[in-house]
């Protein structure tokens, strides 16, 4: 679909993440005012709560936007989501007669504070990137048996922590944990020395379910997508993960981008999944294209220094889509809730420069990465990790904004008192 021009001039600039075709969903506050829902348009945010109060937006089942999160709107379902997009498009389109009434409800994004856009009901993280699973399996096991035997049949995952999902811009504190190197006779409790990021996409569940759903039904339940950094303490992970999987290594923090890009905005970027080594069981087979062509990159900025882009990859590299992961998640009868967040798993590509974690980029610390005049095997104190992503279809860019977090030094021993 071609660019829908807006009377907000910055929304028509080719480099903006937020043309009128996008309309991503965020929560913002102005000084001394309560947080409310807004949509990004160019370099502005439209105050949807004010637009709703002014009668410029009337949605079935509303009001939706004054409460400080998107969950109520997300629960309302695809018909209301589509109506919202249609109504806001009319308000902001070039030539709209409503421009004088809408303009007072726009605010510079640079002058507002962005908050978590939704209440996270549950957080599940998958391991569905084939290049990542192969790289990690090669490092920790051997390249001939890098993929676990289940891997080509089900999207494997674990239940993460909703309580430590933070919005972009939130600093992350280097954690302490129990670690044991292969040459150490006993474990030690110490600050993590191998703290890492994982480049992922997060799918946000809108419509709840109660019982098994098909892949097509799962796709229709998804409200939208965010960028997601699954911060990972590799030394804690290596000691704790067998046999139940990661636990404290992944519990410190997960950072998401502040704008949920609605599924409808990504439709032009929809693309096929990979060819399958082995056919999937029918309940996990795709009824159509279920992935998206989204270019992704990771920047590392040392404290006081300049950013270096250390990875470039694409969401279409995934072996399993979010719809397949969500369908799989329901097979047990597990109810899914509005606000459930599904991490894709680390998105690496075939080349070294496509690797979506420092574990892979530095090959477990054996091949440190050169960054300007510095080297990195893992994240150093003060480093900021910034994820970015966008799709381009018909010359129209649908972007996610930035998903950034700075690593703060570990505190003193939390048990020394
Ligand atoms: Ca992960």
pLDDT in tens, the chain (417 residues): 899 999 999 999 999 999 999 999 999 999 999 999 999 999 999 999 999 999 999 999 999 999 999 999 999 999 999 999 999 999 999 999 999 999 999 999 999 999 999 999 999 999 999 999 999 999 988 899 999 999 999 999 999 999 999 999 999 999 999 999 889 999 999 999 999 999 999 999 999 999 999 999 999 999 999 999 999 999 999 999 989 999 999 999 999 999 999 999 999 999 999 999 999 999 999 999 999 999 999 999 999 999 999 999 999 999 999 999 999 999 999 999 999 999 999 999 999 999 999 999 999 999 999 998 899 999 999 999 999 999 999 999 999 999 999 999 999 999 997
Ligand 1 center to 235 CA (angstroms): 15
- Residue 227 β-bridge partners: 201
Q: Check whether residue 109 and residue 128 sit in a common domain.
A: no
Q: How far is the C-alpha of 299 from the C-alpha of 285, rounded, in Å?
A: 35
- Domain membership of residue 160 (yes or no) is yes
pLDDT of residue 1: 82
Residue 279: inside a domain, yes or no?
yes
What does 318-346 look like in DSSP terms, one character per residue? Answer: BSS-HHHHHHHHHTT---B-TT-EEE---
CA of 254 to the centre of ligand 1 (A): 9
In this structure, the strands spanning 384-393 and 295-301 are antiparallel
Do the Cβ atoms of 315 and 389 come closer than 8 Å? yes
Question: Are residues 345 and 401 located together in one domain of the fold?
Answer: yes
C-beta separation of 198 from 357 below 8 A: yes
Ramachandran region, residue 406 (left: φ > 0; alpha: ψ -120 to 50; beta: rest):
beta
| CA of 332 relative to ligand 1 center, distance in Å | 22
- Residue 99: strand, helix, or coil: helix
Same domain for 76 and 153, yes or no, is: no
Distance 172 CA to ligand 1 centre (A): 16
In a domain, 2, yes or no: no
How many angstroms is it from 306 CA to the middle of ligand 1? 27
Domain of residue 160, CATH code: 3.90.850.10
Contact 354, 131 (CB under 8 A): yes
Q: Are residues 167 and 206 in the same domain?
A: yes
Q: Which domain holds residue 33?
A: 9-115
Same domain? For 65 and 145 the reply is: no
**Is residue 4 domain-resident?**
no
Same domain for 173 and 233?
yes
User: Residue 16: which CATH number?
Assistant: 2.30.30.230
In a domain, 22, yes or no: yes
Of 80, 115, 150, the domain-final residue = 115
Ligand 1 center–CA 89 separation, angstroms: 35
Spatial separation of the C-alpha atoms in residues 221 and 263, rounded to whole Å = 10
Per DSSP, helices labelled H in 29-162 are 48-53, 71-76, 78-92, 99-102, 130-140
CB within 8 Å of 157: residues ≥ 6 apart: 124, 125, 126, 127, 128, 325, 329, 342, 345
Domain's final residue, options 115, 149, 175: 115
Residue with tokens 């080509």: 152
Residues 271 and 393 in one domain: yes
- Give the dihedral of Cα atoms 140, 143, 145, 151; nearest 10 deg: 80
pLDDT, position 103: 98
Q: Which two tokens stand for residue 114?
A: 């962005």
Residues assigned a catalytic role: 132
pLDDT at position 151 is 96
Per-residue tokens: 242: 């067998």
Surface-to-core class of residue 199, CB atoms within 10 Å of its CB (0-12 exposed, 13-18 middle, 19+ buried): buried
C-alpha 345 to ligand 1 mean position (Å)? 5
Q: Do 265 and 281 belong to one domain?
A: yes
Structure token digits, residue 354: 């496509």
Look at residue 140 in the predicted model and tell me its pLDDT.
82
**Contacts with 144 (C-beta within 8 Å, 6 or more apart), sequence order:** none
Q: Are residues 67 and 135 in the same domain?
A: no
Residue where a domain terminates, one of 98, 115, 132 = 115
Rounded to whole angstroms, how far apart are CA atoms 373 and 334?
A: 50
What's the CA-to-centroid distance between 81 and ligand 1, angstroms? 29
Distance 407 CA to ligand 1 centre (A): 18
189: CA distance to ligand 1 center in Å? 23
Residues 197 and 276 in one domain: yes
How far apart are the C-alpha atoms of 394 and 269, rounded to whole Å?
Answer: 10
**Based on the domain organization, do 271 and 383 belong to the same domain?**
yes
Looking at the 3D structure of the chain, how many domains does it have? 2
Ligand 1: centre distance to CA 157 (Å): 9
Using the mean position of ligand 1's atoms as its centre, give its distance from the Cα of residue 391 in Å.
22
Q: How far is the CA of 68 from the centre of ligand 1 (A)?
A: 28
357 and 403 part of one domain: yes
Inter-residue contact 388 to 415 (CB < 8 Å): no
| 208 domain-assigned | yes
The model's pTM is 0.98
Q: Is residue 312 part of a domain?
A: yes
In a domain, 131, yes or no: yes
Helix (H, G, I), strand (E, B) or coil at 125: strand
């Amino acid at each position: 679909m071609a660019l829908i021009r807006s009377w907000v001039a910055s929304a028509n600039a080719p480099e903006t993440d937020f043309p009128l075709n996008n309309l991503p969903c965020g929560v913002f506050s102005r000084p001394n005012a309560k947080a409310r829902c807004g949509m990004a348009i160019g370099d502005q945010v439209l105050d949807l709560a004010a637009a709703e109060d002014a009668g410029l937006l009337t949605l079935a089942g509303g009001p939706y936007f004054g409460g400080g999160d998107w969950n109520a709107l997300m629960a309302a379902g695809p018909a209301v989501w589509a109506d919202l997009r249609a109504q806001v498009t009319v308000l902001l389109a070039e030539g709209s007669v409503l421009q004088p009434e809408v303009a007072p409800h726009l605010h510079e994004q640079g002058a507002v504070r962005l908050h978590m856009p939704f209440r996270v009901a549950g957080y599940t993280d998958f391991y569905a990137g084939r290049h990542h699973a192969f790289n990690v399996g090669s490092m920790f096991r051997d390249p001939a048996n890098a993929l676990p035997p289940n891997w080509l049949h089900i999207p494997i995952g674990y239940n993460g922590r909703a309580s430590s999902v933070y919005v972009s811009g939130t600093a992350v504190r280097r954690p302490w944990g129990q670690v044991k190197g292969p040459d150490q006779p006993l474990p030690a409790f110490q600050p993590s020395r191998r703290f890492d990021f994982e480049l992922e996409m997060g799918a946000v569940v809108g419509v709840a379910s109660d019982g098994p759903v098909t892949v097509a039904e799962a796709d229709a339940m998804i409200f939208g997508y965010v960028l997601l950094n699954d911060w990972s303490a590799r030394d804690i992970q290596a000691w704790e993960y067998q046999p139940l999987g990661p636990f404290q290594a992944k519990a410190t923090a997960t950072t998401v981008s502040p704008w949920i890009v609605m599924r409808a905005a990504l439709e032009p970027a929809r693309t096929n999944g990979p060819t399958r080594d082995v056919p999937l069981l029918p309940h996990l087979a795709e009824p159509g294209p279920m992935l998206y062509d989204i270019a992704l990159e990771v920047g590392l900025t040392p404290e006081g220094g300049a950013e270096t882009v250390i990875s470039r990859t694409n969401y279409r590299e995934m072996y399993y889509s979010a719809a397949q992961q969500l369908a799989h998640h329901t097979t047990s009868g597990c109810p899914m809730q509005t606000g459930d967040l599904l991490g894709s798993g680390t998105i690496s590509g075939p080349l070294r420069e496509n690797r979506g974690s420092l574990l892979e980029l530095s090959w477990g610390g054996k091949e440190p990465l050169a960054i300007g005049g510095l080297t990195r095997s893992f994240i150093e104190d003060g480093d900021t990790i910034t994820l970015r992503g966008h799709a381009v279809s018909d010359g129209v860019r649908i972007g996610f904004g930035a998903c950034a977090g700075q690593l703060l030094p570990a505190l003193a021993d939390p048990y020394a008192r």
